[in-house]
Structure formats: structure tokens, C-alpha cells
Structure 1
Amino acid sequence: MSKRVRPGYYRQDVNKTSWEVPERYRELRQVGTGAYGTVCSAVDSRTGTKVAIKKLYRPFQSELFAKRAYRELRLLKHMKHENVIGLFDVFTADLSLDRFHDFYLVMPFMGTDLGKLMKLQRLSEEKIQYLVYQMLKGLKYIHSAGIIHRVSSLLYFHHVCVSSQLVFSHGNLQDLKPGNLAINQDCELKILDFGLARQADIEMTGYVVTRWYRAPEVILSWMHYTQTVDIWSVGCIMAEMLQAKPIFKGSDHLNQLTEIMKLTGTPTQEFASKLESDDAKGYVKSLQKVEKKDLQTVFPTTNPQAVSVLERMLLLDPESRVTAAEALAMPYFSEFREPEEETAAQPYDHSSDNADQPLDLWKRHTFTEILTFKPVVPDSKETAL
């Protein structure tokens, strides 16, 4: 006998999975799937707006999954900025903690992402300015909460590249890349997915796309990450929008670093001395010296103000890179700039996310977060149909 549906809810099969959702959410259509969940578009019959609903795949199958699910929920609840994905609603059809197995996250529906948009069209200078301005506004907000988009996943895996005895970062890390930047038809952008690591997206060429946007210090695990790892990614994405092709298209980790250093030059002695790993220091010393390129020669037809933004972002030394807040004040963005919208976040409390707790406790915390959530009424600007 099948389980009864909670009053006010209905059941629908989506891609061989049973979804139980409140009756207000209609016209469920699968729009995406990953290793950790499925996303459907739906229409909220109360407001007439289109929303995205995400169902996590077996969120309580292990402590790691439960911790990740709890963390994504808390991060989404915390985010209240027009350029960062936030939460309209969260619900479960399970009526009590002992029956609690699944929950669903309701977010703005955006329509497409920057990766898809760049494949469809060559972006105008004005669009590039506006999109990068929004990325930086979103990052300023995320960074002010004490969150790094890049290293927000819970676990890091490393494998040793035997040929050079260097440790490369690998595995469940979430990157800022074109596919993580959602865009609607008004060219409004939201940063997505800093809670869930997903499988690395592999191009038909077999290349791991995420690597192309990854800061050199992350590829080499050669020092503590700072928030400027995300700035490097923005620089890579901006360069790709300007020249309609990825700027550093490495076929593997070492090739990626080689491609980067063709542009940035090899590390200076001063920078090499900051490296924490002896292996990394040895590797840097073994490199044939390459001079830094003048970016204006790499982008000869590009607006010099855009090139000066790239010059400040694509620097090998993370401490020398511009911050999101500093970049927003650069002349390239003056046309769109509204400083009062460049808001900061309330600090995000990481302590409970990083605790080691049994599965039942993660489940209880998540259930409590769902029960205490106050749904947001989306305004017309918040959605894209």
C-alpha cells in the first residue's frame, strides 16, 4: 500500500522519482539534474510566478550528505541579495521528525546560465559590463558574510601528481564558473550553488571545464585560500566573454598552470617565498622564467578600462588581486554603479556547519530550520518567466 500524501500536497513522478509538493506549486518540469539532486521548474499558483524547486537526492543517506544538505539550507536562508540565489520557500511532506526523509528548496527560476548564454551569442560590451558588475556585487555580499564561493564545500580530496610530487586539489570543490551564474531574460544575474559540490562538468573534448576558472593557488594547493580565489574566476569569465573563448584552456593540472603562466609570467622570488609547501617551492624554482604579458597586447581591440580590470584580477599572487569591493569602484563599472545596492551581508555563523555530529542530529537541525523558515513573497523583479 502506498504512503498517504500529506493534506494540501500532491504526488508526481519526476524522472522515476516521487515528488510530493504543496498544491500551490503546479506544472512541474525537470530542468536539471546532478549528482546531489534534481531541479524542476514550477508555477506558484498563488503569485503566478515561475520558480525552481530542488529536491536533494537522499539527503540523509550519510553524515556527509546530511551535513551538506543542512549547510546548503542554512546558506540559502542567509542569502538576501539580488545577485545571489536565495530561498523563497522550503518544505517537506513528512509530518514528523521520525518520518523525515526528504525536503525541497524553492528558489527563483532564472531560465539560463552564463555558460549556455555564451554558447548562443557573442555578448556586447554593455552586457559584459553589466554581468561582471553583478558578479562583483554578489561576491562582495558573499565575501562580507565570511564565505568563499570556491571553498564552500565540506570536504576536500587531494591526489598526488606522481610525475612532479605536487599535490593538486581535486574532487568535491565548488567553483565559480559560467554554469554557476544564473541569468534571466533581463540580463539579471544570480550566483548559484555555493552549497552543493557537483560532478565536474566534462566537455565533449574530455577536458574538465571547472579547471579553466580555478585560481593557480587552488590548483597547486600551495597556500591558504583567500576570497580572491573567486576574483581570479571572475577574471577568467570576463576574459572569456570578451574574446568568446576560454582564456586558460588547460588539458590537465600542469598544462593549466603552464597556460596561466604564459600570461601572468612565472612567480617572483617574493611570491615563491610565501608558498607553504616545499614541493610547490621546488616546482616554482624548476620553472623556466617567463615574463608577464601586457594584457593590452593580448586584448588589442578591447576597451582599456576592461583590460585594467583584468590586470587587477588575473594576478598570480592572491594578495595582490583586487577585492570585489575595490573592483566595483573601477571606472569600467561607473555607468551601472549604484553604491547603495553594493550591500554587505550579516556575518554567517559557520560553527554549527563544521561540527561533527551524528546523522540524527543533522536531521533534527535540518527539520528545525525548515519549521522556522518564513516564506518570502517574490516580487516581479525577483523572477524570470
Structure 2
Amino acid sequence: MKPPNDAEPVETDGGATTDLQPHPPPENICMNISHDGRYIQYNFSGNIFEVTAKYKPLIMLLGRGGGGIVCSGINSETNERVAIKKIMHACRDQIIAKRTLREIKRLRHLEHENIVGIKDIVLPPQRDAFEDVYIAYELMDTDLDKLIKSNQELTKYHHQFYMYQLLRGLKYIHSANVLHRDLKPGNILLNANSELKICDFGLSRVASDAMTQYVGTKWYRAPERLLSSSAYTSAIDVWSVGCIFLEMMTRTPLFPGRDRSDQLRSILEFLGSPTEDDIGSLNESGKQCLKMLPWFDRQSFFVKFPDVPFLAVLLLEKMLKFDPRKRISVEDALADPYFKTMHNINNEPVCTKLFDFDLEEHPVTAEQIKELIYHEALAFNPEPLAFNPEPATVEKDQ
């Protein structure tokens, strides 16, 4: 989605994108061709990164995480720059395998300007002998977490335009019967022209599924999740958006709890203790948990955040309701006066087909999930990779 003509782009070369810019290859990187020249292996300080030879050397390291590494590359067949994520041991463990397949399935179904797109799944060189999975996504410049922590100035317009795009993408997700469940600044990708895309659907679920207890980063977790409610709705994503919205404007997390109990206490200290009506959707365990806490008076949004625009505060109050039944919907949030200059229902599409596949309904083993992931890779690479007698020239031990 392009910003209006009077939009001010975020100049991300001021430091916001430092961590996501291609890093020069370190001296100890090694590159070698493999599997008859069909693949290239990169060794990043002992971490092997193996992709098909269509991705031009050099592959550039973007970042590391607990589950693997992310590199940038250029697909020589399409000339597209992509971010390739290596998910380590994705097919060894059933939980990680489920998350990986769920991410692939969701993103292939959800095609929207404000949702990151999958460009390729690297076909494993051996069908029955692979553990790692490589997924190529649209390459973006940075994420909202890095932007918030940077010294980059953000105007009121940026706050408004980022939130509008986030809600626009979320409307599409919810219309497909999917809950994201892990919205946080790090899962919101940005480009220098202020374009925004939602990513990381590994914890997402179909709205009608039985829900697991662990969901997402606790700072952005809705009260009903902290109280172990299993009957939650799309309102959990709206809560997360409200937390992200205020953090973006203040550059400080709203509810940075140390653990679940501290997180809940932090919420109540600000919103005040809920009424009997507010806890009507909770189970008995959740209600008993609240009764063990002291009474808290509600604080004023306007007093606590005097520099936040009036209309933004009014919208935040609708998003951050303790009772999920009283929380504003994404559709109503888009139509809120805060977005008066941007809202256009004819340019806020919904998904025309509900997503109805979920692993929780069909018990499967890690090996079965592995086969399903291989089939997803075949969808992007329908023909077996042909032997290339003249593989791309790669210098070794650079």
C-alpha cells in the first residue's frame, strides 16, 4: 500500500535499519558447491546455510536468532531480492515442524499488501533426509521493534499510517478465520517508504480451534490469555495492536511484565480492577485468580500520556478494554475518527475464502509433517532440479 501524496517517508538510513542491512561477508565465511552443482553451501562461523544455486552468491547475513539465521539473496530466475530464513531442525521436533508448516500454509493462503509474502521454499536436496527448512520471503528494510529503539524521528503521521496498515492487514487475516496470536513490534516489517507488512504466523490458529496455553510474547498478551481462557476471539489481536500503538508513540513498552503474574498486575494497575460484568467471559480459574489480587483504581489515559493526540487516546481506550467482548473490532477501529483521512472501505479488502486447515484437527507425526513441508516446497519448484554441468562459479574460502 502506497502512502498518500503528502506522506513523509521514514528515512531509515539514520540507523533504524542497521541490523537488517546486508553485512559484508566475514573473513571466515566459506562457500562450496554441493549436490552436483545444484546447491551452494555457505558456512557462517560453523552455521551451514545451503540454498539452490539460483540464489546468486554472495548470500549476505542479515541476522541470527534462536531458531536459525536470516540471509538476503537475489533469485537469478526472477531477479527478486529476498530474505531467506533457515529454520534449524524444523523437521526433527514435532512442535517446530508444526509451527513451520503452519507458517507456510497461512502465508500461502493470505495474499495481501500488508502481509509478508512467501516467494519460495527451497526444495531439500534429499526428500527423506533433511531437517532444516529454508523459506524465502519478501525482503523488507527493518521491523517496528528496531525502529522504535532507534533514534529515528517518527511523526504523528507515521504513527497514524503504520497503525492504519496494521489494522488493514489484520482485517484481512481475521476475515480468513485466522487469529495471529503473536503480534508484537518485531513481527511488523517496514520499508523506507513506510510500507508495512505483518509476518510470523507460526503461532496463528483458525478461530474455531482449541487453543493452546502458550501464546506469544507476554508484554502484548491479552488479559484473557494471561488468565488461561481457552475461548478467546480475534479481540486478543486487537489488544496486542493497542499495546503496540502506544509503544510506538511513547517509545516505551506499555506493560513490560516480568512474568505472567507481574504482567497481569501491571495491566490492572493501569486499567483498574475489572467489574463482575467484565469477567463474565472468564472461566472459574481465571475469576479466582483475580479475586486473589488487591483492588486497583483506574488511571486516566489522558493524564498518564499527555503528549498522545486526543483522538489516538480515544481509540486506545476502545482497544485496551479488559473485557474482550467490549473491545473494538478491527473493522470499527479502521472506521474510527483517528483514521478519517485514510479510511476507505473499498480499499480494505477481506479474504474471500476461509482458511480451514489446521494441524490440531489432524494428529500427525513429525515425519508426516516433514512430507507435507516437502510438498509445499514442490509447489514452488514443481520440477526436480536438473543437473547443471556449468554451475555458478564460486570462490572458495573467502
TM-score by length of 1: 0.80
CA change 1:243–1:69 in 2 (3 A) is closer
> Residue 79 of structure 1 corresponds to which residue in structure 2?
110
Please say if residues 36 and 196 of structure 1, whose CA atoms lie closer than 8 Å, have aligned partners that are also in contact.
no
Please tell me whether residue 126 in structure 1 is matched to residue 166 in structure 2: no
C-alpha offsets along residues 263-311 of structure 1, whole Å, 9 cap, x if unaligned? 211111112343213x322232344333333322222232211111101
Please tell me whether residue 25 in structure 1 is matched to residue 70 in structure 2: no
1:19 alignment partner AA: F
Answer with 107-116 or 237-246: which moved more.
Answer: 237-246
Q: How many residues align?
A: 337
> Residue 157 of structure 1 corresponds to which residue in structure 2?
none
1:11 alignment partner AA: Q
Superposed displacement of residue 374, structure 1: 7.2
> Residue 323 of structure 1 corresponds to which residue in structure 2?
329
Please tell me whether residue 289 in structure 1 is matched to residue 295 in structure 2: yes
Please say if residues 92 and 102 of structure 1, whose CA atoms lie closer than 8 Å, have aligned partners that are also in contact.
no
> Residue 115 of structure 1 corresponds to which residue in structure 2?
145
Superposed displacement of residue 4, structure 1: 4.5
CA change 1:364–1:63 in 2 (3 A) is same
Superposed displacement of residue 100, structure 1: 4.5
Please say if residues 6 and 94 of structure 1, whose CA atoms lie closer than 8 Å, have aligned partners that are also in contact.
no
CA change 1:47–1:250 in 2 (3 A) is same
Written as runs of structure 1 = structure 2, the 5 A alignment for 1:61-210 is 61-95=92-126, 97-120=127-150, 121-150=152-181, 175-195=182-202, 210=217
> Residue 3 of structure 2 corresponds to which residue in structure 1?
none
Q: Work out the CA distance in 2 between the residues paired with 1:333 and 1:72.
A: 30
Please tell me whether residue 303 in structure 1 is matched to residue 309 in structure 2: yes
Mark the runs of 5 or more structure 2 residues left unpaired by the alignment. Answer: 1-31, 205-215, 383-398
Answer with 289-298 or 132-141: which moved more.
Answer: 289-298
> Residue 170 of structure 1 corresponds to which residue in structure 2?
none
2:312 alignment partner AA: A
CA change 1:66–1:223 in 2 (3 A) is closer
Q: Give 2:219's match in structure 1, choosing from 196, 202, 212.
A: 212
Please say if residues 313 and 322 of structure 1, whose CA atoms lie closer than 8 Å, have aligned partners that are also in contact.
yes
RMSD between aligned residues: 2.4
Structure 2 counterpart SS, 1:291 = coil
> Residue 365 of structure 1 corresponds to which residue in structure 2?
372
Q: Work out the CA distance in 2 between the residues paired with 1:351 and 1:241.
A: 33
Please say if residues 118 and 138 of structure 2, whose CA atoms lie closer than 8 Å, have aligned partners that are also in contact.
yes
Please tell me whether residue 42 in structure 1 is matched to residue 49 in structure 2: no
Please say if residues 88 and 131 of structure 2, whose CA atoms lie closer than 8 Å, have aligned partners that are also in contact.
no
2:316 alignment partner AA: L
C-alpha offsets along residues 1-45 of structure 1, whole Å, 9 cap, x if unaligned? x99425543222234233332333222122222232321111233
> Residue 85 of structure 2 corresponds to which residue in structure 1?
54
Q: Give 2:255's match in structure 1, choosing from 239, 248, 272.
A: 248
Please say if residues 6 and 93 of structure 1, whose CA atoms lie closer than 8 Å, have aligned partners that are also in contact.
no
> Residue 234 of structure 2 corresponds to which residue in structure 1?
227
CA change 1:103–1:30 in 2 (3 A) is same
Please say if residues 279 and 287 of structure 2, whose CA atoms lie closer than 8 Å, have aligned partners that are also in contact.
yes
C-alpha offsets along residues 78-120 of structure 1, whole Å, 9 cap, x if unaligned? 121111112111122415x334444321101112111110111
CA change 1:78–1:257 in 2 (3 A) is same
Please tell me whether residue 349 in structure 1 is matched to residue 356 in structure 2: yes
Structure 1 counterpart SS, 2:261 = helix
Structure 2 counterpart SS, 1:372 = helix
Q: Work out the CA distance in 2 between the residues paired with 1:176 and 1:232.
A: 9
> Residue 338 of structure 1 corresponds to which residue in structure 2?
344
TM-score by length of 2: 0.78
CA change 1:86–1:15 in 2 (3 A) is farther
